Amino acid sequence: MQLESMYQEIILDHYRHPHHKGLREPFDAEVLHVNPTCGDEITLRVTLKDAGGEPAVADVSYDALGCSISQASASVMTDLVIGKPVSEAMEISAAFLELMHSRDAGEPDEDVLGDAVVFAGVAKYPARIKCALLGWMAWKDATAQALAGTAQALGSTAQAEMEQT
Amino acid sequence: MTLDVAAIRADFPILSRQVRGGNPLIYLDSGATAHKPLAVLDAEREFYLRHNAAAHRGAHLLGEEATDAYEHARSRIAAFIGADPGEIIFTRNATEAANLIAYSVSNAATGGPAGGPAAGTPAAGLAIGPDDEVLVTELEHHANLVPWQQLCQRTGARLRWFPATPDGRVDLTDIGDLVGERTRIVAVTHQSNVTGAIPPVARIAAAAHAVGAIVVVDAAQSVPHHPVAVADTGADFLFFSGHKMLAPTGIGVLWGRSELLGAMPPFITGGSMIEVVRMEGSTFLPPPQRFEAGVPAVAQAVGLAAACDYLDAVGMENVAEHERMLTGRAIEALTAVPGVRILGPLTTEDRGGAVAFEVDQVHPHDVGQVLDELGIAVRTGHHCAWPLHRALGVQASTRASFYLYNTPDEVDALADGIRTAQKFFGTP
């Protein structure tokens, strides 16, 4: 069956034993994303840290209900972004988005995407692309909010210092 | 079998398609949209080939023929549901029909001077406001829910609802409290697109009429599947879509009692529905034209009339009986699969041919993917009935829906396909 090309063993493994699942504290931002077509949802938290002057992903924690593709993709995503600088993680995210829209033509770069290359088969089933992207979109949104929050925090600290002098 | 299914299937060329992996198509998604028999396709094509013109406009021969075709279609559809042609409004689909009623009511509430109801006009009687209530059910398809939510938002009226029972029927326990002197509109499904439940609409309508409320019935899943005579339903409004009853997409029907339609202000305005137009203002035609702005969808209406002919030739009683047989077989086959739970009544009593189910530890998307690979088309998700799914305690479901061209073998294939999905995902 063609199904094996989409439902690779790695995907089924992540579905049965999702990595980094659960909601943890502390966190910098939390989002709730939903797939309106099917009701799949993910609540996702991002914690950032400072890594030599630029923000990096300290933790991604989540709670989710959904199909094997959406759950496995979120799990693989957490493996790929945790510990990386945000800028690098965003590049991986862009590469994954490109893979999803590739209709399974072209060679995914395993150096950039790691385990996420196994989702190449999903691109042949357009109805499932949103499933694979749910976790990534949630992470991007939460990270953007976390960064905006950090900027606000820095801004108000500077303001307070100015007012004191 | 009461139907000659093989003969019927021969009328639907798409059913002989091969799909994934060279498998024959097993189409169990007629609840989403139905296929079209050659007679419907031919009728639509014939109109374009020989009689095409803008109806109600041309003073020339083709214009006359197009107008005749359109009005003949209106009469044909009226006869199909036991109604008067003057009470049939063509819309784009059931969803638009629901919105038509809702916007007409809020236009009645705001169409007068200073943005309130125009006192003393028939429309004023339709206006609703902050002291009023609109009553729906938890089973409703979004088309018969969201427009009423929005109506309440626009007018300040309060939305209330009958809850769902655990087996996916309308819970009438609190009907005495829910239907009261503030109730102005009661909107209810004639048949659930998820659980298949057929609520006691006539009983609900009687309670509604006792307090002077109008009754709106969503017949999108009933008119295509069993005989419906509007007089028997107790409805004041009833709507359905052509594409779910073997007709083209883009044509729907709103039936309404003539005294109500006569009082209603229009929803969509423009050409065709006007009486006199000046720059300073316009007056409108009586119904049904009042609610049919723009050049009419004649070809689609002709297709819908041909669908009525096709269905009446088969016999709606026969269609219903065939579906009852398939539904009963599906309920039996699926309950025999360990780990499968049907969301809906487990009897064919007051229950139509939508069978939604969940498979333990296998998400509907994944069930649907395996079935798709086997050539079986079902729907996965919340089927535009999200609150109903929450009420039934599930995130999403897989739904098979049957029609006159489905066979018992296809039901068996569905059950086998579910077992295949369970094996693939390694669940018992």
- Reported as a single tens digit per residue, the pLDDT across A96-121 is 999 999 876 778 889 999 999 999 98
What 3-state class would DSSP assign to B256? strand
In a domain, A162, yes or no: no
- Please tell me the distance from the alpha carbon of residue B124 to that of residue B118, in angstroms, as a whole number: 6
Using an 8 Å CB-CB cutoff, list residues of chain A that contact chain B: 1-3, 6-7, 12, 37-41, 65-70, 125, 128, 131
- Per 3-state DSSP, chain B is made up of helix, strand and coil in percentages (nearest 5) of 45, 15, 40
A60-91 confidence digits (pLDDT tens): 999 999 999 999 999 999 999 999 999 999 99
Tell me, what's the pLDDT at B110? 85
Tell me, what's the pLDDT at A129? 93
Number of CB pairs < 8 Å for A and B? 50
Checking if the pLDDT of B428 tops 90, the result is: no
Tokens 């965003």 belong to A90
- Whether chain A has a CB inside 8 Å of the CB on B184: the answer is no
Positions of B marked active-site? 384
Chain A residues within 8 A of B386 when measuring between CB atoms: 39
Checking if the pLDDT of A160 tops 60, the result is: no
Tell me, what's the pLDDT at A6? 84
B50-81 confidence digits (pLDDT tens): 999 999 987 899 999 999 999 999 999 999 99
| Reported confidence tier of residue B13, pLDDT bands at 50, 70, 90 | very high
B305-334 confidence digits (pLDDT tens): 999 999 999 999 999 999 999 999 999 999
Q: How far is CA A91 from CA A44, A105, A113, B343, in A?
A: 20, 20, 10, 43
Beta strands in B360-422 (DSSP E): 376-377, 379-381, 397-401
- Please tell me the distance from the alpha carbon of residue A35 to that of residue A136, in angstroms, as a whole number: 13
In a domain, A81, yes or no: yes
A9-56 confidence digits (pLDDT tens): 999 999 999 999 999 999 999 999 998 877 789 999 999 999 999 999
CB A15 within 8 A of CB A32: no
B425 contacts A12? CB cut-off 8 A: yes
Tell me, what's the pLDDT at B359? 97
Of chain B residues 289-308, which have a CB less than 8 A from chain A? none
Tell me, what's the pLDDT at B115? 77
Chain A residues within 8 A of B365 when measuring between CB atoms: 38, 40, 66-70, 128, 131
A67 contacts B364? CB cut-off 8 A: yes
The closest of B376, B397, B382 to B25, measured between CA atoms, is B376
In a domain, A75, yes or no: yes
Q: In this structure, what CATH number is given to the domain that contains residue A89?
A: 3.90.1010.10
Chain B residues within 8 A of A43 when measuring between CB atoms: none
- Per 3-state DSSP, chain A is made up of helix, strand and coil in percentages (nearest 5) of 60, 20, 25
Tokens 């609109």 belong to B134
What 3-state class would DSSP assign to A83? coil
Tell me, what's the pLDDT at B183? 97
Tell me, what's the pLDDT at B208? 97
In a domain, A157, yes or no: no
CATH architecture of B5-30+315-424: Alpha-Beta Complex (3.90)
pLDDT over 90, % of chain B = 93
pTM above 0.90, yes or no: yes
Tell me, what's the pLDDT at B289? 97
| CATH code 3.40.640.10 region(s) in chain B | 43-311
A131 contacts B395? CB cut-off 8 A: no
According to CATH, the topology of domain B43-311 is Aspartate Aminotransferase; domain 2 (3.40.640)
State how many domains chain A has. Answer: 1
In a domain, A158, yes or no: no
Tell me, what's the pLDDT at B126? 85
Q: What is the DSSP string of B99-125?
A: HHHHHHHHHHHH-SGGGS--TTSGGGG
- Whether chain A has a CB inside 8 Å of the CB on B423: the answer is no
Checking if the pLDDT of B214 tops 70, the result is: yes
| CATH code 3.90.1150.10 region(s) in chain B | 5-30+315-424
User: Mean pLDDT throughout B229-241?
Assistant: 98
pLDDT over 70, % of chain B = 100
In a domain, A161, yes or no: no
Range of weakest confidence among A102-106, B96-100, B213-217, B378-382: A102-106
Of chain B residues 8-37, which have a CB less than 8 A from chain A? 20-21
A1 contacts B395? CB cut-off 8 A: no
B395 contacts A128? CB cut-off 8 A: no
∠ CA A66-A68-A72, nearest 5°, is 100
Of chain B residues 380-399, which have a CB less than 8 A from chain A? 380-382, 386, 389, 395-396
- Whether chain A has a CB inside 8 Å of the CB on B373: the answer is yes
Radius of gyration, alpha carbons of chain B: 22
Tell me, what's the pLDDT at B121? 75
- Whether chain A has a CB inside 8 Å of the CB on B284: the answer is no
Domain of residue A104 covers 3-145
Tell me, what's the pLDDT at B221? 98
B112-145 confidence digits (pLDDT tens): 777 777 777 777 778 899 999 999 999 999 999 9
Range of weakest confidence among A119-123, B37-41, B280-284: A119-123
CB B276 within 8 A of CB B35: no
B424 contacts A3? CB cut-off 8 A: yes
| Reported confidence tier of residue B398, pLDDT bands at 50, 70, 90 | very high
Tell me, what's the pLDDT at B125? 77
